[in-house]
Amino acid sequence: MKPQIICHQKKVYTTACCLLMIGCSGLPSTHSYIAPAVRVPLIAEHYQSDAMPKAQNPHKSDSVIGKDGLGQSSNPSLLKAINAALANNHSIIEQRALFSQALQRSIIADADQELSLNLSASNSLKTSNSSHSASASFDLALNGSWQFDIWGELDKKSKAAHYTLAQAKASLQYAEQSLIADITTAWYQLIYQQQRQQLIIEQQQNTDNQRQTIEFSYSKGLNDISDVYLARANLDSAKLRTSSGAQALSNTARQLQLLIGQYPSGNLRIAGNFASLSINFKLGVPANLLKNRADLNSSWLAVMAQDATTASNYAKQFPSFNLSGALSLSSAKLSDLMSQNLAWSLLANISQSILDGGKTTANYRLARAVLIEREQEYLQVLQSAFSEIETLIEAQHAIEEQWQLNSQILKNSELSLEQISAQYQNGIANYQQVLNLQQQLFDDQKDQLLLNMQRIENRVELLLSLGNPNDINHTTESK
């Protein structure tokens, strides 16, 4: 019988070695349409300080932003609003919570690769029908288990968790950058609405002066009744624009209040003017987007996380090896427990799924299909980023040209009003001509305000699209 047992053992060892060689020859080689990442994601400890704000005060942010969405630091009130928003904005708080979740998942994934130890103590009482006394037993055991990661399943799972953690960090960074850009735009949008509303009120007063002049001329027989009706209709239209402008002003104030975490009363007003913009910043090269834009980094890290997940699912198709052991002490008396002989056990286990209805293979193919989806999403985001920047650069040149032309138009309108006002004082021109030129000047001033706002919006969007606004320096001055 002994030779048969030895022969049987050899067959078992041979079969196990064959399975091992087959598994090693079939290690996952996931095909990707994109070159692999050159940087390995950082360990969880490097992200620990970024999980949640350090300060417990909800009105205090964990970092101080020194520049606004225009890359400027000359507006302390705007910077104060931005820092308050980073601490109070609900979307940012949500992103920090998602980042904290990813951090804990990466720690859990790392722990799966480590040795697991469990210490247990127990006390039992046993009786039998033949004996009226109870026997006590005290047990102390140290159990350990460890999975041999031969196929790299746990390693790939850990890498996927770390890529997901880095993705969450990039998403949080992009959310903060987007919030800074939105607040900057909303800040100057409120200034624009305030100045526009002031012009509309002045324009309404000018229209009322025109009505009074026409009614006086009609009373003297110099104008027709139709002119009076037209003047009154123009005044009603001016009042309508004033009412609509007041509503737009309140809505803009509410948008800014929501962004900075205040109650949206609509009563917020800002004392200030438009920022002066310089054009001496570097656009860089298209390749800079790959390292500067947080949303592109987030999309790329999603590809890498899914790639690691696919490899982990592939490794699940092969046998798993586990090693478990235990050290135990047992005694009838607690005082004699530590004096007993130490008992130990060691168990090696190998398991392989044979019939699962194709579930394991389907999970791998599903992960591979999701990987292709993530890759195509990344390529789409990348192409959209290039298109977005090209569009913004072209719009910047067009807006700048329109702004310069309208500045000249505004200057000519002011000179014309000065001339006609002088002629009116000398009795050469009538008051109606003066009012008409004032109306034209108001329209030109509103166009100039709109172009100023468009320049601000374009610059904020362009710097956000470039992905690194804090590295761009501007020469600013009050305008």
Query: Residues 132, 13: contact at Cβ < 8 Å?
Result: no
Helix, strand, coil tally for the chain in percent (to 5): 65, 10, 25
Domain count, the chain: 1
Assess if residue 423 is contained within a domain: yes
Residue 324, SS3? Answer: strand
Assess if residue 24 is contained within a domain: no
Assess if residue 167 is contained within a domain: yes
Assess if residue 25 is contained within a domain: no
Q: Closest by alpha carbon to 246, among 267, 215, 262?
A: 267
- Spell out the residues 6+ positions from residue 41 whose beta carbon is closer than 8 angstroms to its own: 159, 162, 163, 165, 166, 301, 304
CA distance 309 to 235: 68
Assess if residue 378 is contained within a domain: yes
**Side-chain half-sphere exposure of 2, counting CA atoms within 13 A:** 0
Q: Supply the CATH number for residue 55's domain.
A: 1.20.1600.10
Q: Give the model's pLDDT for residue 476.
A: 34
- DSSP 8-state code for residue 478: B
Assess if residue 337 is contained within a domain: no
Tokens 């002629």 locate to 423
Assess if residue 160 is contained within a domain: yes
Sheet containing strand 343-351, edge to edge, reads: 116-128, 131-148, 320-331, 343-351
Size (the chain), residues: 479
Range of the domain at 245: 43-113+151-318+361-471
Average confidence (pLDDT) per 10 residues, the chain, 479 residues = 43 43 41 41 46 39 62 83 88 93 93 89 74 73 88 91 94 92 93 92 88 86 82 89 93 92 90 78 71 89 94 91 84 67 83 88 94 94 91 92 93 91 81 82 91 92 77 35
pTM of the model: 0.76
CA distance 171 to 295: 6
Q: Closest by alpha carbon to 416, among 424, 71, 120?
A: 424
Largest pairwise CA distance in the chain: 137
